[in-house]
């Protein structure tokens, strides 16, 4: 009986727009489960349905064996941390946190002890008498979390809780959230569009796109073994290839990729000769060298030309042109040697990667190629993030 | 930094000099003059005499006054309460519907203002008159006896005051409600509050600025009502405004009218001053937990 929170075939439309299409998910007790997807994918709607603030058109929600689909929000044993915090502006920090306990009719003495326990947990004991507008973004966030947790919900719902914070604060709050989760042991349902947040926090992630669940799995499964092109492109960077199976062998089969080269791939899916196959290869799986490397047969090697380089300190990104393909690669700098000949723009280089690193996708959609970052976008993003940090 | 602050202070002072001066010359001084006039003797021709006297104050011991003042106060309080209690739910629902319909409803609230106030009050007189439709209808339905009066009683004044000032209560409350963040209601439901609890604990405090304005803009004019009790009230429903008018225009006794005005002014100023100081001290002490 690990299945604690079950979404069973949830559908929801706003007007003609189908926001959620037959979504079924299972959340285990005590875990952090993330709903990850781009904005407008329906993840927040699913969270609001769980909170009772939105009614599903069809489907059931089961919490701890009890069907809560038709319960009004105030009767559900779930609490929400809202994206904009939604702290009551006329109440002090203390009164905000005490709100749920007062509604439940608890005695004032007991309330005081409880609230101080949670104020200590979020380290805001000194701010108990302040109004929310006197708090910083991160402090408001912590008050919102304490206000929800004090009711001891079965599930804590978090709707993009870190979206309004700046980068540094976001990273610290991420650690705080993880610590709080360890401390209270409550199941977290976490909605975010930020893949790094989801990856670092979650036990399990559901990747949602246009109202459909694309994949459910641990962060590693999602990153290393994406089921669809959307998952591969949305989480981390990747390169897509399209090829035909020309030889089936164990454990490596051979693909012919037009305009590229013949590639050895690991048979992680059942394939037959003549099948059309889509590959995802993560940038860090490639090795870029100036000299042609001598490698065992299970490696793939192809020659290309460096088109763009972005130096990022701990690693460098190279975009290498091989005919029609512009391949993104990443190279870590484990040591720097002054006399090393640096790879530079226009250099002829060799790309090599092991056949194990080619991952076959079950589902491929051309539109998802738009999610891949091109070198110029990368440069712009880098400039912007530096500008933000300067502020 | 300090210099900037100083400059800011200086410009604030400069900016507030002209409105403050305006208020002082045209508001504070005339009010003080009215109060001062109460201590002057009356001139038999309707003007103000030269010597100082306490005779006017002694004349205030008119046995009718306590009753009239009491009636003025309760009519104003009850009409303010009715206006506020009607305006809060109305403002809540108006601010929840689509913007397009909000504008239409607001237009309908404002439209009656294009008809002269006197005409509208007079229309009420026609409406409530023993020969008027409403009275006839009540008699036909056996709700009202044919010889009883709807008009010329305090209740008629109350109804017409509520009618006249309801829009003034609704507009500021709506303005607050429209700015209210309704996510807060969701947060309240989420924390276990029912609809009524969320309404009272979250919505009402959220619009309190509008409520305060509404109370002021209804209560103060209601206290000074003169036209409404004059037209639909008659002698048995007089308010202090009628007495002031009577002393000014019929008795031609300006000091006496001034004394009554001063009483009315103090009736407003003293409670609001008390409320303001209480609020001031409450805010000063809000460093505590507010339990």
What are the tens digits of pLDDT across the range B182-203? 999 999 999 999 999 999 999 9
Digit-coded pLDDT (tens) for B72-124: 989 999 999 999 999 999 999 999 999 899 999 999 998 888 889 999 999 99
Compute the average pLDDT of residues B256-260.
90
Q: How large is the average pLDDT for residues B230-235?
A: 88
d(CA B155, CA A136): 53
What pLDDT score was predicted for residue B129? 85
| pLDDT tens track for A265-314 | 998 888 889 899 999 999 999 999 888 989 998 999 999 999 999 888 78
Tokens for B180?
């209210």
Instruction: Assign B290 a pLDDT band (cuts: 50, 70, 90).
Output: very low
For residues B23-45, average pLDDT: 88
Residues of A in contact with B208 (CB under 8 A): 90
Chain A closest-CA separation from residue B28 CA (Å): 34
At residue A170, does pLDDT exceed 90? no
Least confident of A45-54, A82-91, A310-319, A365-374: A365-374
Q: How far apart are CA B219 and CA A244, in angstroms?
A: 84
β-bridge partners, A276: A244
Q: In the structure encoding, which two tokens stand for residue A315, read together?
A: 């690693």
Give the mutation candidate from B191, B194, B205 for the A interface (greatest A CB count, under 10 A). B191
pLDDT category at B291 given cuts 50, 70, 90 is very low
Res B159: pLDDT: 94
ipTM above 0.95, yes or no: no
Looking at the complex, report in whole angstroms how far the Cα of residue A74 sits from the nearest Cα belonging to chain B: 4
Q: What are the Cα distances from residue B199, in Å, to A106, B89, B185? A: 20, 10, 8
Q: Are A238 and A281 in contact (CB under 8 A)?
A: yes
Q: Note the pLDDT of residue B77.
A: 93
Burial of residue A307 (CB within 10 Å: 0-12, 13-18, 19+) is: middle
| pLDDT value of residue B3 | 58
Q: A96 with A47: CB under 8 angstroms?
A: no
| CA pair distance A353, A370, nearest whole angstrom | 25
**Is the predicted pLDDT of residue B287 greater than 50, yes or no?**
no
Q: How long is chain B?
A: 291
Q: Which of A51, A74, A148 sits opposite B193 (nearest CB)?
A: A74
Place of tokens 């065992």: A296
Residue B270 touches chain A, beta carbons under 8 Å: no
- Which regions of chain A does DSSP assign to beta strands (E)? 3-14, 17-28, 32-36, 58-63, 66-67, 78-81, 155-159, 187-192, 204-209, 212-217, 239-247, 252-256, 262-266, 276-281, 287-289, 299-311, 315-322, 325-332, 348-354, 359-361
Mean pLDDT of B203-215: 93
User: What letter would DSSP give residue A71?
Assistant: S
DSSP A98-116: HHHHHHTT--HHHHHHHHH
Q: From CA A126, how far away is CA A360, in angstroms rounded?
A: 55
Q: What is the pLDDT of residues A231-270, one digit of tens each?
A: 999 998 899 999 999 999 888 999 999 888 899 999 888 8
Query: Within an 8 Å CB–CB cutoff, is residue B183 touching chain A?
Result: yes
Are the beta carbons of A80 and B183 separated by less than 8 Å?
no
pLDDT at B281: 77
For residue B20, give every residue at least 6 positions away whose Cβ sits within 8 Å of its Cβ, in sequence order, or none: none
- pTM for the model stands at 0.81
Pick from A27, A61, A39: nearest CA to A204: A27
**What are the domain boundaries of chain A?**
3-229, 230-390
With respect to residue B104, please indicate whether it lies within any of the assigned structural domains.
Answer: yes
Quote the minimal CA–CA distance from B109 to chain A in Å: 30
pLDDT at B288: 42
Place of tokens 């299972």: A26
- Contact state of B290 with A73 under an 8 Å Cβ cutoff: no
Share of chain B above pLDDT 90, in %: 42
Quick check: B190 and A51 in contact, CB under 8 A? yes
Let me know if residue B112 belongs to a domain. yes
Q: Do A129 and B288 touch (CB under 8 A)?
A: yes
Contacts of B183 in chain A (CB under 8 A): 82, 84, 86
Give the Cα separation of B280 and B270 in Å (integer). Answer: 15
Show residues of chain A in contact with B186, CB under 8 Å. 53, 73, 80, 82, 86
Residue B85 lies inside a defined structural domain of this protein: yes
Q: Mean pLDDT across the stretch B214-226?
A: 91
Is B228 a member of any domain? yes
Tell me how many residue pairs between chain A and chain B have CB atoms under 8 A apart: 79
* DSSP code for A37: -
Q: Is the pLDDT of residue A166 over 50?
A: yes
Nearest C-alpha in B relative to A111: B291
A312-334 mean pLDDT? 87
For A230-390, CATH gives 2.40.50.100
Q: How confident is the model at residue A65 (pLDDT cuts 50, 70, 90)?
A: very high
pLDDT at residue A334, rounded to an integer: 66
Same fold, A3-229 and A230-390: no
Q: Beta partners for A270?
A: none
Cβ-based contacts of A54 with chain B (< 8 Å): none
Q: What is the DSSP letter of A292?
A: P
Identify the weakest region by mean pLDDT among A164-173, A174-183, A323-332, B93-102.
A164-173
pLDDT band, very low/low/confident/very high, at A371 (cuts 50, 70, 90): confident
Q: For residue B139, give its domain range.
A: 63-238
User: Is A389's pLDDT higher than 60?
Assistant: no
**CA-closest candidate to residue A186, choices A156, A143, A142:** A156
Q: What angle do CA A53, B182, B173 make, to 5 degrees?
A: 145
Q: Give me the CATH number covering residue B92.
A: 1.10.3720.10
Contact A24, A9 (CB under 8 A): yes
- Under 8 Å CB-to-CB from B111, ≥6 apart: which residues? none
Q: Do B287 and A129 touch (CB under 8 A)?
A: yes
Residue B145 is predicted with a pLDDT of 77
* Top-tier CATH class for A3-229: alpha beta
Q: Does B98 touch chain A (CB under 8 A)?
A: no
End-to-end CA distance of chain A: 50
Q: Is B103 a member of any domain?
A: yes
pLDDT in tens, A10-57: 999 998 999 999 999 999 999 999 999 998 899 999 999 999 999 999
Higher pLDDT, A205 or B139: A205
Q: Select the highest-mean-pLDDT range: A142-151, A164-173, B11-20.
A: A142-151
Residue A189 contacts residue A5 (beta carbons within 8 Å): yes
Say whether pLDDT at B58 is over 60.
yes
Query: A108, B291: Cβ pair inside 8 Å?
Result: yes
Among A67-76, A97-106, B109-118, the range scoring the smallest mean pLDDT is B109-118
| Residue B156 clears pLDDT 50, i.e. is over it | yes
For residues A200 and B13, the model is more confident at A200
* Neighbour tally for A19: CB within 10 Å: 22
Which residues are paired to A321 by β-bridges? A305, A326
- Please tell me the distance from the alpha carbon of residue B33 to that of residue B24, in angstroms, as a whole number: 12
DSSP B130: T
DSSP A302-318: EEEEEEEEEE-SSEEEE
Q: Is residue B172 part of a domain?
A: yes
How many domains does the structure of chain B reveal? 1
Here the tokens at position A91 are 């109440």
Q: Is residue B51 pLDDT above 90, yes or no?
A: no
Query: For residue B251, what are its two tokens?
Result: 């008795």
Structure-token pair, residue A339: 């006399």
Mean per-residue pLDDT, A335-353: 80
CB-closest option in A72, A90, A147 to B205: A90
Mean pLDDT of chain A: 90
pLDDT of residue B15: 86
Q: Enumerate long-range contacts of B115-121, CB under 8 Å, 24 or more apart.
A: B117/B164, B117/B227, B118/B227, B118/B231, B120/B164, B121/B160, B121/B164, B121/B227, B121/B228, B121/B231, B121/B232
Query: Between A240 and A386, whose confidence is greater?
Result: A240
pLDDT score of B138:
84
A100-104, B142-146, B164-168 — which is least confidently predicted? Answer: B142-146
Residue A190 pLDDT > 80? yes
A84·B187 Cβ contact <8 A: no
d(CA B240, CA A359): 90
pLDDT band at A368 (very low <50, low <70, confident <90, very high): confident
């Amino acid at each position: 009986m690990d299945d604690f929170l079950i979404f069973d075939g949830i559908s929801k439309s706003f007007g003609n727009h189908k926001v959620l299409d037959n979504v079924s998910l299972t959340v285990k007790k005590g875990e952090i489960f993330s709903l990850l997807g781009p904005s407008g994918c329906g993840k927040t709607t699913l969270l609001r349905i769980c909170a009772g603030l939105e009614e599903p058109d069809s489907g059931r929600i089961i919490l701890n064996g009890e069907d809560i689909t038709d319960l009004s929000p105030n009767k559900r044993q779930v609490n929400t941390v809202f994206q904009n915090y939604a702290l009551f502006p006329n109440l002090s920090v203390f009164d905000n946190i005490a709100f749920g306990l007062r509604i439940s009719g608890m005695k004032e003495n007991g309330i005081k002890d409880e609230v101080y326990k949670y104020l200590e947990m979020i380290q805001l004991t000194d701010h108990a008498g302040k109004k929310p507008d006197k708090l910083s973004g991160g402090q408001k966030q912590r008050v919102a979390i304490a206000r929800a947790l004090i009711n001891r919900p079965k599930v804590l719902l978090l709707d993009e809780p870190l979206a309004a914070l700046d980068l540094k604060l976001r990273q610290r709050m991420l650690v705080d959230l993880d610590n709080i989760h360890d401390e209270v042991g409550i199941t977290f349902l976490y909605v975010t569009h930020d893949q790094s947040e989801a990856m670092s926090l979650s036990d399990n992630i559901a990747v949602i796109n246009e109202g459909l669940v694309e994949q459910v799995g641990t962060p590693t499964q999602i990153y290393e073994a994406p089921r669809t092109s959307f998952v591969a492109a949305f989480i981390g960077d990747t390169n897509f290839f399209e090829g035909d199976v020309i030889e089936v062998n164990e454990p490596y089969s051979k693909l012919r990729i037009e305009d590229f080269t013949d590639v050895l791939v690991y048979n992680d899916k059942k394939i037959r000769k003549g099948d059309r196959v889509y590959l995802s290869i993560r940038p860090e799986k490639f090795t870029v060298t100036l000299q042609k490397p001598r490698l065992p047969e299970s490696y793939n090697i192809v020659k290309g030309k460096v088109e763009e380089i972005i130096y990022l300190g701990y690693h460098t990104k190279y975009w290498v042109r091989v005919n029609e393909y512009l391949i993104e690669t990443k190279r870590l700098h484990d040591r720097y040697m002054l006399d090393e000949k640096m790879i530079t723009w226009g250099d002829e280089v060799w790309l090599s990667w092991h056949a194990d690193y080619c991952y076959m996708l079950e589902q491929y959609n051309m539109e998802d190629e738009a999610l891949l970052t091109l070198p110029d976008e990368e440069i712009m993003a880098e400039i912007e993030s530096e500008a933000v940090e300067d502020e | 930094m300090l210099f900037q602050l100083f400059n800011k202070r200086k410009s604030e002072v400069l900016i507030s000099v002209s409105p403050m001066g305006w208020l002082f010359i045209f508001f504070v001084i005339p009010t003080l003059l009215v109060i001062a006039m109460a201590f002057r003797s009356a001139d038999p021709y309707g003007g103000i005499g030269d010597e100082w006297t306490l005779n006017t104050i002694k004349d205030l011991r008119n046995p009718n006054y306590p009753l009239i003042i009491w009636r003025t106060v309760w009519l104003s309080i009850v009409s303010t309460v009715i206006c506020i209690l009607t305006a809060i739910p109305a403002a809540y629902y108006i601010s929840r519907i689509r913007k397009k319909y909000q504008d239409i409803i607001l237009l309908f609230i404002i439209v009656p203002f294009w008809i002269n106030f006197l005409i509208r009050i007079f229309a009420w007189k026609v409406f409530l008159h023993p020969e008027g439709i409403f009275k006839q209808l009540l008699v036909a339905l056996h709700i009202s006896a044919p010889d009883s009066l709807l008009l010329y009683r305090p209740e008629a004044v109350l109804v017409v005051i509520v009618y006249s000032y309801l829009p003034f209560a609704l507009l500021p409350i709506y303005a607050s409600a429209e700015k209210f963040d309704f996510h807060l209601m969701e947060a309240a439901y989420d924390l276990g509050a029912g609809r009524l609890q969320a309404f009272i604990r979250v919505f009402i405090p959220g619009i309190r600025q509008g409520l305060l304005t509404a109370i002021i803009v209804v209560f103060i004019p209601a206290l000074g009502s003169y036209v409404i009790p004059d037209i639909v009230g008659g002698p048995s429903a007089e308010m202090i405004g009628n007495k002031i008018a009577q002393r000014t225009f019929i008795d031609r006794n300006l000091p006496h009218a001034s004394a009554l005005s001063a009483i009315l002014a103090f009736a407003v100023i003293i409670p609001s001053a008390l409320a303001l100081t209480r609020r001031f001290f409450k805010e000063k002490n809000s460093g505590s937990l507010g339990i």
